Structure 1
């Protein structure tokens, strides 16, 4: 099934094109060594990842601020592991994480291939809830920035996905309409429901392979987009 009349393709960035999990793990390895925190990275990540996901869900729904997210996810992770880490060290880790993370440039499988395939036929764009100061750096360092006509961040828009206004702003920037636009992302709530509520078509990137029944087409590999575009 091909989508007809599509001219603009919008992507989420983290967990959709940019390999957040791998790059984040590499970042923690660097900053833990700097602070002499003798933890196995995987042991830490097993605790941290669900806590981080919960913080991002609350951030998306305006229940915590950016600063509370940055510090709280680390504080709660160390507390859950019963490891004493001072507030000063947590603050340092938080700042260094934001600084070091964009320096890693691993992309998810098929990213370059699918962007090369789509670029001649469509105008490509990014809509992301990630922090303004690092999303652009991630894209430059991973050498995908030139594929995209526009990048819309939640900080720029003043609202986060799934709020319809971030999609409206992204459409206006690209001189696009909902009818000729499609969104691809890994968060069903933020990317897919948000896009649908703004009138866009959508394809769900089932990054974690949950195989849940959804109301839109879903893929587990980016190259599967060739079936639809």
Structure 2
């Protein structure tokens, strides 16, 4: 298979909830915390997720700013979560809960459906980069555990570059590393604010992965897709053409 006269030379991907199923892992981590506290047993997991999700961005931004380590953020986030959920526990119990969350999160790590075959298919035609707002070691671990590490050419993290999406500078750093002009690149991500508007500001064509059925804020800014499979059809959309059979 080959893509005839492909103009796209590189495809950039977000990582969490684009290539790696962060939502699934976070749910497993939260379920592990729920099992530790009787006061949470009667609460629907979805209701607890609503409380927890409000805290994720707040504490993640502190990690990106260098104010907290990832482990410190997990502890602080769970402390606030348990407080909001009405649980009064010791600091030792909070630290134990953070470890339980982390272990369950990593044990549940998996690629988003279709991610592996799509990357395998795309590698025949383009270079592949991952652009992510996170610490490098954590994202390297996710790529390795999910079997994605051998399928990408470049990993760019906000920790390494010193700026985070949607800042165009992090996309520009990825393009330099890949040796690709912005006109020959595509960015795929699930976050409208970070991935889509960031890529748009950097002059890169954006494809919005909308797995959860959200309304599209502006179809003129990005091409929406709802899944990463079937890989041949998705690849054709990313490369802005049809894949044809070849020798």
Tell me whether the two structures share a fold, i.e. TM-score over 0.5: yes
Deviates more, 1:216-225 or 1:84-93: 84-93
Structure 1 residue 109: Cα displacement? 1.7
**1:31-86 superposed Cα distances (whole Å, 9 cap, x missing partner):** 666xx434348153232123324544x55995975567434432222122111123
Contact (CA 8 Å) 2:11, 2:187: kept in 1 or not? yes
Looking at structure 2, the residues matched to 227 and 164 of structure 1 have their Cα atoms a distance apart, in angstroms, of 23
Picking from 215, 222, 244, the partner of 1:216 is 222
Looking at structure 1, the residues matched to 137 and 200 of structure 2 have their Cα atoms a distance apart, in angstroms, of 28
Q: What's 1:48 paired with?
A: 52
Distance 1:181 1:227, change over 3 A: closer
Q: What's 1:157 paired with?
A: 161
| Higher gyration radius (CA) | 2
Q: What's 2:174 paired with?
A: 170
What 5-or-longer segments of structure 1 have no aligned partner? none
Contact (CA 8 Å) 2:10, 2:126: kept in 1 or not? yes
Looking at structure 1, the residues matched to 98 and 226 of structure 2 have their Cα atoms a distance apart, in angstroms, of 32
Distance 1:61 1:162, change over 3 A: farther
Q: Does 1:227 align with 2:241?
A: no
Structure 1 residue 134: Cα displacement? 1.2
Q: Give the TM-score normalised by the residue count of structure 2.
A: 0.78
**1:162-198 superposed Cα distances (whole Å, 9 cap, x missing partner):** 1112112111211122111111001111111111111
Distance 1:103 1:177, change over 3 A: farther
**1:71-125 superposed Cα distances (whole Å, 9 cap, x missing partner):** 4432222122111123333344445544653343322121122212211111111
Looking at structure 2, the residues matched to 30 and 60 of structure 1 have their Cα atoms a distance apart, in angstroms, of 23
Q: Does 1:198 align with 2:202?
A: yes
Contact (CA 8 Å) 1:31, 1:93: kept in 2 or not? yes
What 5-or-longer segments of structure 2 have no aligned partner? 240-247
Q: What's 1:81 paired with?
A: 85
3-state SS of paired residue (1:10): strand
Contact (CA 8 Å) 2:133, 2:157: kept in 1 or not? yes
Structure 1 residue 142: Cα displacement? 0.8
Q: What's 2:28 paired with?
A: 26
Q: Give the TM-score normalised by the residue count of structure 1.
A: 0.84
How many residues in Structure 1 have an aligned counterpart in Structure 2?
224
Distance 1:155 1:47, change over 3 A: same
Backbone CA RMSD of aligned residues: 2.7
